[in-house]
A = this chain, B = another copy of it.
Amino acid sequence: MDIRTIELKKTILEDNDKDADLLREQLKETRTFYVNVMSSPGSGKTTTLVSTIKLLMNPTDGKQPLKVGVMEADIDSDVDAHTIANETGAASVQLHTGGMCHLDAEMSRQGLREIGYEDLDLVFLENVGNLVCPAEFDTGAHAKAVILSVPEGDDKPLKYPLMFEEADVVLVTKIDAMEAFDFDPDRFRKNLAGCNPDAPVFFLSGVTGEGVAEWAEWLRDKVENFLDNR
C-alpha cells in the first residue's frame, strides 16, 4: 500500500491551548473522535494499535464497524505507517516531525487534513516515542492514551509524573513478560494513583491478545458517546 508522508511545518503559535480547543470543536462537527497515543520508544504503540483497530473495524459481535485512521508521527522513517496500513487496511499517513520531539494542535491539523478526517469516526495519533515532551502539548485530541510496557518498570509514574497525570487511560503492554521483568501490577497501580487515581488501566499482551478486547470496548464506548453527544 502506498503511504503518504508529510513533512510537518513547525508552528510558532501564540496560544496552542486555544488552538487545540478549536480543533476539538471542529472535529465534533465532522463527528471524528481523535485519540493521542503516547509512550516511550518501543513500548508497543504500533502493535497495540494494529490489534485494537482490527477489532474496531471488524467487530464480531454485531456492532457497527468504525471507520478508523492513523497518523504515525516519527522523527524519521515510515516503518509504522506501512505496518498499520498493511495489517489493518486503516487510512494511514506518516508525519515526519523533522527532529521535533512532540506534536501540537496545528501539526495535528496538517496530518488530519491529509488523512481525510471528515470521513472517519476515529483517528489515532501515534505520537513521537517520548515520555516527556508530548505530555506538555495539547494536540486537540478528545482523549489521551498512555502506553507503558512491562520491561520499562512499574516505577515510571514516579519518574514521568506529568505524562501519567495527563492520561485518560493507561495501557500496560507486554504483560506476558511480567515475571521476567519483576513488574508488580499492584505497585504500578499505587505509583499511578499518586499522580492519577482515576485513569482506568488495561493490561495487554500482543503475544496472547489478552486485554485487547476490553480496551477496544472501552474505547468504542467513548467514541459512541462522543457521536451521540457531540
Contacts and interface: CB of A to CB of B under 8 A. Distances in A.
Interface stretch (A63-71, A115-123, A126-134, A209-217): A126-134
Interface of A: 40-43, 74-77, 79, 99, 101, 128-133, 136, 149, 151-153, 155-156, 158-162, 174, 176-177, 180-181
B101 A159 contact: no
Contacts of A99: 136, 162
Given A132-B130, A149-B151, A151-B174, A162 B75 contact: yes
B40 A159 contact: no
B132 A75 contact: yes
Nearest to A162: B99
B75 A153 contact: no
Q: Which 4 A-B pairs have the closest CB atoms?
A: A42-B152, A151-B151, A101-B132, A77-B158
Nearest to A133: B101
A156 B41 contact: yes
Given A75-B132, A128-B132, A162-B99, A42 B174 contact: no
Contacts of A79: 155, 158-159
A201 to B, nearest CB: 17
B174 A129 contact: no
A128 B99 CA distance: 18
A129 B177 contact: no
Contacts of A174: 151
A131 B41 contact: yes
Contacts of A128: 132
Contacts of A131: 41, 129-130
